[in-house]
Amino acid sequence: MRRLCLLLMMTCGLAGCKPSGPQPKPLNQLTAHEKSGYNVFQQHCVICHADRNDSNIVGPPLMGVYKKQYLPSGAAATDERVTATILHGRGMMPAQANVLGDEDLSDLLAYLHTL
């Protein structure tokens, strides 16, 4: 039994054995800036987007959004694109320009980078 465990651990070590790719930074390791962004996300985005798993709610999941090269639409995954999406909306996503201040937006982007 111990042998089997050891073998599993070794194989996992090599293969990276995470459920599916890189995981978001743990919540308890967020900086103050990122933590504020987490709060903004809970207020303004979480009803439509999953941040820490890959389920589709109203919009596409945002887990790993900056770890991929492209956004779900095919646009480059850059701060500029994401900011434009947030400020102007997209398709069924309402614009958030009137509800988010500059600081909220910068906190939010910092949080999205941890996903």
Binding residues (CB under 6 A) for ligand HEC: these are 44-45, 47-49, 58-60, 62, 65, 71-73, 75, 82, 85-86, 90-94, 96, 108
Distance CA 57, CA 44 (A): 14
DSSP-based three-state secondary structure for 91: coil
Q: Is 104:33 a contact under the CB 8 Å cutoff?
A: no
What's the rounded Cα separation, in Å, for the pair 4 and 19?
20
CB 29, min distance to ligand HEC, A: 21
Please identify, using beta-carbon distances, which residue of 8 and 76 lies nearer to ligand HEC: 76
Residue among 11 and 73 whose Cβ is closer to ligand HEC: 73
The closest residue (CB) to ligand HEC is 91
Nearest-angstrom CA–CA distance, 24 and 26: 6
Please identify, using beta-carbon distances, which residue of 31 and 70 lies nearer to ligand HEC: 70
73, 90 in Cβ contact below 8 A? yes
CB of 26 to ligand HEC, least distance (A): 20
